[in-house]
Structure 1
Amino acid sequence: MSEYTDREFMEVDFNNGLFSEYDFHHCTFTRCRFRGAHLEEINSTGCQFIDCDFSGAQLNASIHTRSAFTNCRFTNANLFVSKFEECKMIGSDFAAANLDGITIVRGDWSYTNLRNANLTKQSLRGVMFVEADLSACKLEKADLRDADLTRARLGNALLKGADLRGAVLGGIDFKSIVMLDVRIDAIQAVDFARSYGAKIQ
């Protein structure tokens, strides 16, 4: 197992590199390319990945703790059973990425593209999804309690059995969501009724 600590990398090409089971601690990667790289079972702690490209990379079973992946590209990346704990993912693109079995513990996933992602039965409690694109996501039976979904796009998302109690839903287009069996609290129920023209007295 190899370990990198307190290293900085600027515009380095790691394409198709072999980094399986590496440990990264407090490293900074800026505009680096990891396209097709093997990053299975890596651990990152307190790292920053800024404008990096992970397209087609293998990140399955990787674990990330308090790391930041800002404006990164994960197109077609494999994130199967990966774990992100208290990570900052703002603006990253997960188009066509495999997120099956992913674990997300809190953190900020605002402005991310998670369209069509499979997050069925996931615990997403307290996660920030401000203005995230969750269109057509599979969120059935997901725990979204206390999450921040302000202005998130949820059109055609599958939410059957999801728990939204305590979540921030400001700016949500309720008419684009099928709310069948979705658990909401009293305040959310009022907002939902108002979106359909009800007058609450």
Structure 2
Amino acid sequence: MKGYFTHEEYENEKFIGLDLLEEKIRDVSFFNCTFERCSFLYADLSLSSFDNCLFKHSNISLTKFQGTHFFDVQFKGCKLLGTDWGSLRGLFKAEFTDCILDSAVFPKRNLQYFSFIRSTFNGASFIDTNLAHAVFDDCDLGGALFDRAILTEADLSTAFNYSIDVSKNTITKAKFSLPEAIILLQNFNIQLI
């Protein structure tokens, strides 16, 4: 389906079941659009913008977002494997529910107040990421790397499988729950009895 998006702007559109494998969809603006059961696997969405859009049950893995802008976007039941969120022009106000964000990287991203619900982040990377007030509700953070991340007042009380070095990250007033929070003591060379 080469050249599916031929206009520069789309508004109030609903796209269902599109297979955009390796498509180049560059410099296109989407406002108030829904993408349902679409595949953007290896697609190039560089320099595009998505405002007030919804992605449902779509595969957005290994997609290029160089210079792309997201504002007030919802991802529900999506695969976002290996996505490099650091190449975006802007990621403002997004919500992820029932998503797979394994091996995704969020370098130097401002994700304050973002909401992640029932999502997995196995092997994801949060380096120099601002996650202040972010919520990880029932999220699997197995193997996720937190390095110089700001987790001030973040809520990880229902998150699990995380390993956060408190000497390398800011966790002031962050919420954790037992027994998972015991892992926060791993780098202090102490014995728990």
Partner of 2:70, secondary structure, is coil
The 8 Å contact of residues 111 and 130 in structure 1, kept in 2 or not, is answered as yes
The equivalent position to 1:110 in structure 2, one of 94, 102, 114, is 102
Q: CA deviation at 1:27?
A: 1.5
Q: What corresponds to 1:80 in structure 2? A: 71
Residue 19, structure 1, aligned to residue 10, structure 2:
yes
Per-residue CA deviations over 1:23-68 (Å, capped at 9, x if unaligned) read 2111111100112112222211111111001111111211111111
CA distance change for structure 1 residues 55 and 15 in 2, over 3 Å: closer, same or farther? farther
Partner of 1:56, secondary structure, is coil
CA distance in 1, matches of 2:157, 2:47: 36
Q: CA deviation at 1:173?
A: 3.8
Q: What corresponds to 1:124 in structure 2? A: 116
The 8 Å contact of residues 39 and 58 in structure 1, kept in 2 or not, is answered as yes
After TM superposition, the structure 1 = structure 2 runs for residues 148-167 of structure 1, keeping only pairs within 5 Å, are: 148-167=140-159
Partner of 1:194, secondary structure, is helix
CA distance change for structure 1 residues 16 and 132 in 2, over 3 Å: closer, same or farther? farther
Partner of 2:27, secondary structure, is coil
Partner of 1:30, secondary structure, is coil
AA aligned opposite 2:81 = I
User: Hey, which of these two has a bigger chunk of strand by percent?
Assistant: 2
After TM superposition, the structure 1 = structure 2 runs for residues 25-44 of structure 1, keeping only pairs within 5 Å, are: 25-44=16-35
Q: CA deviation at 1:175?
A: 3.4
CA distance in 2, matches of 1:158, 1:15: 41
Q: TM-score, normalised to structure 2's length?
A: 0.89
The 8 Å contact of residues 134 and 152 in structure 1, kept in 2 or not, is answered as yes
Q: What corresponds to 1:101 in structure 2? A: 93
Per-residue CA deviations over 1:129-155 (Å, capped at 9, x if unaligned) read 111122122211111132111121211
**Identity rate, percent:** 19
CA distance in 1, matches of 2:66, 2:161: 28
AA aligned opposite 1:137 = T
Q: What corresponds to 1:134 in structure 2? A: 126
CA distance in 2, matches of 1:194, 1:22: 50
Partner of 1:44, secondary structure, is strand
CA distance change for structure 1 residues 79 and 57 in 2, over 3 Å: closer, same or farther? same
Q: What corresponds to 2:43 in structure 1? A: 52
Gaps of 5+ in 2: none
The equivalent position to 2:187 in structure 1, one of 167, 171, 195, is 195
The 8 Å contact of residues 73 and 94 in structure 1, kept in 2 or not, is answered as no
The 8 Å contact of residues 161 and 181 in structure 1, kept in 2 or not, is answered as yes
AA aligned opposite 2:65 = F
AA aligned opposite 1:18 = E
Over the residues paired in the alignment, what is the CA RMSD in angstroms?
Answer: 2.0
CA distance change for structure 1 residues 33 and 167 in 2, over 3 Å: closer, same or farther? same
Partner of 2:182, secondary structure, is helix
AA aligned opposite 1:115 = P
The equivalent position to 2:52 in structure 1, one of 38, 54, 61, is 61
Q: What corresponds to 1:146 in structure 2? A: 138
CA distance change for structure 1 residues 182 and 20 in 2, over 3 Å: closer, same or farther? same
Partner of 1:191, secondary structure, is helix
Q: What corresponds to 1:90 in structure 2? A: 81
